[in-house]
Structure 1
Amino acid sequence: MSPRDGGVLRRLSRWWSARPAPGRRTALGALAAGAVLLVVAATALNTSWRDERAAAGGPAVAAAPAPDPLTRSIGELQDRLAEVPGDWSAWARLGSAYVEQARVTADPSYYGRAEGALQESLTRRPDGNDTALTGMGALANARHDFRAAADLAGQALELNPFSAEAWGVLTDARHQLGDYPGATAALTRMLELRPGIAAFTRASYDAELHGDTADAEAALEQALATASSPADEAFCRTYLGALAFSRGDLDEAEDQYSAGLAETPGAAGLLLGQARVLAARGREDAAVDTYRAVVTSQPLPEHLVEFGDQLASLGRDDEAAEQYALVDTVRTLFTAGGVSDHLGTALFAADHGDPATAVAEAEAEFAGRQNVDAHDAMAWALHSAGRDAEALGHAQEATALGGAPALFRYHRGVIEAALGLTAEARVSLAGALDANPWFSPVHAPRAQALLESLGGRP
């Protein structure tokens, strides 16, 4: 049976549903769940920068009334190591917890701490330490060093082929490297070993990549059914909402985001989705306020760019420029945390009149991985440089899996139109707008205008 057989997920889902309810998941037990879909958005500005923004008049981020489970677990591990510094297992778990904390807080300084703790674990136990190798693999994924992540996961699995966490790291790395059959095979093994939130959310991503939206939603619903904390529920609802929004279902997306925010007020991922829905419904002021809350809480580069695009779509160009200007500052902190962002830099440069930078950054990204995201970035960068004949093949590869997002289809349509492939362009542009008429506050109106200029829908 092929690893892409949707029956694997359905059969495991039915089996899992019939099992007794699982015990409560600890924060450390759920570390791997954070990697899916967010793996390419793991770091941003540190806490001191957010404090400076608040001091300069920006909205402050409310402090949590009590330590969250992950922070509490980190504290407990630190206390354990203060008493027993030779506990290699605790060092490994602390390092993995720091990787997750970097994602949650958008503070890249945690990556250095994670590397130090994991290296200490390997020093204390250099042989047979699959836990630390798995943590190092997750750290490599977060830093976008996907080849290293795949290698480290492979080393961990040689020691412990029953490690669901290592299979998850390998799944993520293979997805990002463009090895989709290999990713699905690794995911299938993870589902067999531990069909919980971490596996089901990855299954959703894998299904969505291949255009299997029904399986993608079913997997997220399975993940939600196993959620045992507000953070787990917020995580699942964030992606259920994103999946609904990606297919243009604003009502379902709004319901998921609202339900998640009722459990976890202020969660950045849920607020981002809510901002998109508000913008799509034409509630401009509310959308801007919500976007502002997102970038204050979690100033990731893509959040700043998206907020800037929303402001630009409203004619608020000076405010948009302020958001765009922050991106370089953010990426400086990315670099300090050991994270590269060639893909994001390439797309931003292509959209903002810097084709030389766009092509150079896209080529750097493509040298490290050849997945659909890298193909799309190459296509759009080459288009911005007027090299549409070269761009077309990349645009076709970016949309080849069956689950191409609306933005990828739009990029392909623009390139086809530039090459005089009018019939093909009309199909691509209509497909983008059919998938999600609100896929971008800047590019969706352009897609509609270009489609009409080409003669409308096919």
Structure 2
Amino acid sequence: MKTQDSWFRGRTRRARTVTGVLAGSLAGSLVLGGVLMLLPDDRPPAAPAPGPAAARAAVTNGVPASPADLSVLIGDREAHVRRHPRDAGSWAVLGAAYVEQGRLTADAGYYPKAERALRASLKARPRGNAQALDGLAALANARRDFPAARQWAEAALRADRKRWTTYPLLIEAYTGLGDHKAARRTLDRLQKLKSGPPVMARAAAVYWDQGWREDAAAQLSDAAASAGSPAERAAWLERAGQLAWERGERAAALRHFREALRTDPDLRAAQAGEGRALAALGRISEALSAYRAALAKQPSPAYALELGELYESLGLEQAARVQYELLRQRVRLAAAGGADEELVLGRFEADHGDAGSAVRRLRAEWRRQPSIAVADALGWALYRAGDHEEALRFAVRATDREKENGGGVRSALYAYHRGMIERALGKAGPARRHLQEALRLNPWFSPLHAPLARAVLKRLGEPSARLPHGVWAPD
């Protein structure tokens, strides 16, 4: 009998034989956040009853937990470490719970608490404390500090090379640094060590970044089917919704997001995704309600930007400005908690604020962590600031299918950005091709920019059938 690992490898090889290696990526990339580790068995265990036991099992084994269960776990561990301040394991669990709660609520105020708890764990057990090192890697990933995440994850592996839970954290760090070849090598090592829903979900993210879209969708489908708890199943369904959205499958995306919400009504990422899909379907009042509900419990700067742009597309300028101010406030709060939201702030400034400021911010981000998402955002900011030649160099980095770093991303937004830059440079043919690609990948990729892409394509017209002067065509 084949092992589960070999079955999945065979499945993805067969899918690639049929479909070829497609290039694709989630806009801003598909990052599976939180303390994504592994189950202790190849088959998911029975889910514990809701409460601190369920949340502890989740954060220890690296699967998503519900905010309510995390709150109970945090209270339980806080009380425990007050009585037992030398309990390194409990400090590590508490730190991991703070990280996950901060991620789920978009409240960076949890991150300094997480850092203090995890360092208390290291102080109590300075040597061989891979659990605390994992927690610090997860914290750095949540803060979008990918160089630090890589360092902490590598330290955890030095402490315990066979600790499966560390590998997903290292993959996330490599992806954030734009090193997709290293991410794939690390995934290969992880799959040799362990299988299970979190491994499938992490593999889906890597496959998507490499352009293996069918493989990614299959992995997420299997992860959701074999999840060990409602919160975990909902998380993988939400990721499947993201994949469907990036492929322009708005109805399928809506089904995934709504099934995720039925499974876990507290999953605000699915609620924001529901708003995105509803807007694309023209159900605007429902979309606005979904976005508002998501932002009420998870005031993410990225969601505020999406809702602001939806309002702007409707001509509701004042409502859009309210969301843009919320974005700025949340970025400031994130910075106070040590989190890096420069990418979303740079995107916002490029389109709605100070393009020069966007260029400065994103150049610094590129020097620190040169991911594909940062290349795209920096290229667009340079275009908006009027530096079209340099803008194209970064746009090519973001859309080139043959990157030295091993990425194979394919994004409607990235293709649109490149097409608009090429148009500004008078490159009508390439501009037409990339704008067509953007609308082919996802005709609803942005309520503001997708209509503009169609308008620009119309102005560009069809390619000329006439040969250039001096070129002879044989009969």
* TM-score interval, normalised by the smaller of the two chains: 0.7 to 0.9
Gaps of 5+ in 2: 14-38, 49-53, 401-406, 465-475
127-136 or 196-205: bigger deviation:
196-205
Contact 1:427/1:457 (<8 A) preserved: no
1:35-184 maps to which residues of 2 (within 5 A)?
A: 68-184=68-184
1:296 alignment counterpart: 296
Q: Alpha-carbon deviation of 1:302?
A: 0.8
**2:9 alignment partner AA:** R
Q: What root-mean-square deviation, in Å, do the aligned CA atoms of Structure 1 and Structure 2 show? A: 2.4
Cα distance per residue 1:97-117 (max 9 Å; x no partner): 111111112221110110010
**1:240 alignment partner AA:** A
Correspondence for 1:438 among 431, 444, 447 = 444
How far apart, in 2, do the equivalents of 1:398 and 1:358 lie?
A: 17
Q: Alpha-carbon deviation of 1:194?
A: 2.9
1:339 alignment counterpart: 339
From the superposition, tell whether residues 27 and 385 of structure 1 become closer, same or farther in structure 2 (CA, over 3 Å).
same
How far apart, in 2, do the equivalents of 1:216 and 1:373 lie?
A: 19
Contact 1:144/1:340 (<8 A) preserved: yes
Question: Whose radius of gyration is greater, 1 or 2?
Answer: 2
1:396-435 maps to which residues of 2 (within 5 A)?
A: 396-400=396-400, 401-435=407-441
How far apart, in 2, do the equivalents of 1:83 and 1:279 lie?
A: 51
From the superposition, tell whether residues 7 and 412 of structure 1 become closer, same or farther in structure 2 (CA, over 3 Å).
farther
1:376 alignment counterpart: 376
Contact 1:30/1:198 (<8 A) preserved: no
How far apart, in 2, do the equivalents of 1:456 and 1:96 lie?
A: 55
How far apart, in 2, do the equivalents of 1:153 and 1:194 lie?
A: 17
**1:176 alignment partner AA:** G
How far apart, in 2, do the equivalents of 1:154 and 1:8 lie?
A: 29
Gaps of 5+ in 1: 1-5, 36-63
* Secondary structure of the structure 1 residue equivalent to 2:165: helix
1:212-291 maps to which residues of 2 (within 5 A)?
A: 212-291=212-291
Q: State TM-score, norm by structure 1.
A: 0.87
From the superposition, tell whether residues 457 and 411 of structure 1 become closer, same or farther in structure 2 (CA, over 3 Å).
farther
1:27 alignment counterpart: 55
**2:339 alignment partner AA:** V
Q: Alpha-carbon deviation of 1:27?
A: 3.1
Cα distance per residue 1:258-306 (max 9 Å; x no partner): 2222222253111111111211111111111221112112111111110
Q: Alpha-carbon deviation of 1:21?
A: 5.3
Aligned length: 421
How far apart, in 2, do the equivalents of 1:251 and 1:332 lie?
A: 35
Contact 2:200/2:220 (<8 A) preserved: yes
From the superposition, tell whether residues 28 and 415 of structure 1 become closer, same or farther in structure 2 (CA, over 3 Å).
farther
Q: Alpha-carbon deviation of 1:216?
A: 0.7
From the superposition, tell whether residues 456 and 243 of structure 1 become closer, same or farther in structure 2 (CA, over 3 Å).
farther
The reply on whether 1:10 has 2:9 as its aligned counterpart is: yes
Which structure carries more relative contact order (alpha carbon 8 Å, separation 6+)? 2
**1:131 alignment partner AA:** Q
1:194-209 maps to which residues of 2 (within 5 A)?
A: 194-209=194-209
How far apart, in 1, do the equivalents of 2:462 and 2:149 lie?
A: 46
Q: Alpha-carbon deviation of 1:198?
A: 2.5
* Secondary structure of the structure 1 residue equivalent to 2:426: coil
Contact 1:150/1:170 (<8 A) preserved: yes
Cα distance per residue 1:201-226 (max 9 Å; x no partner): 22111111111110110111121022
From the superposition, tell whether residues 189 and 29 of structure 1 become closer, same or farther in structure 2 (CA, over 3 Å).
farther
How far apart, in 1, do the equivalents of 2:107 and 2:452 lie?
A: 35
Q: Alpha-carbon deviation of 1:229?
A: 1.8
Contact 2:412/2:437 (<8 A) preserved: yes
How far apart, in 1, do the equivalents of 2:280 and 2:47 lie?
A: 37
Contact 2:44/2:227 (<8 A) preserved: no
How far apart, in 2, do the equivalents of 1:441 and 1:317 lie?
A: 14
How far apart, in 2, do the equivalents of 1:286 and 1:457 lie?
A: 40
**1:27 alignment partner AA:** A
Cα distance per residue 1:38-74 (max 9 Å; x no partner): xxxxxxxxxxxxxxxxxxxxxxxxxx9xx83322332
From the superposition, tell whether residues 88 and 371 of structure 1 become closer, same or farther in structure 2 (CA, over 3 Å).
same
Contact 2:133/2:152 (<8 A) preserved: yes
2:29 alignment counterpart: none
How far apart, in 2, do the equivalents of 1:76 and 1:194 lie?
A: 30
Contact 2:64/2:232 (<8 A) preserved: no
Contact 2:416/2:453 (<8 A) preserved: yes
* Secondary structure of the structure 2 residue equivalent to 1:167: helix
How far apart, in 1, do the equivalents of 2:64 and 2:359 lie?
A: 31
Q: Alpha-carbon deviation of 1:13?
A: 8.2
How far apart, in 2, do the equivalents of 1:199 and 1:457 lie?
A: 46
How far apart, in 2, do the equivalents of 1:68 and 1:352 lie?
A: 36
From the superposition, tell whether residues 9 and 347 of structure 1 become closer, same or farther in structure 2 (CA, over 3 Å).
farther
Q: Alpha-carbon deviation of 1:155?
A: 0.9
Cα distance per residue 1:229-262 (max 9 Å; x no partner): 2211211111111111111112211221222222
2:32 alignment counterpart: none
Contact 1:12/1:195 (<8 A) preserved: no
User: Percent of pairs identical after alignment?
Assistant: 40
110-119 or 258-267: bigger deviation:
258-267
How far apart, in 2, do the equivalents of 1:457 and 1:181 lie?
A: 38
Q: State TM-score, norm by structure 2.
A: 0.84
**2:452 alignment partner AA:** R
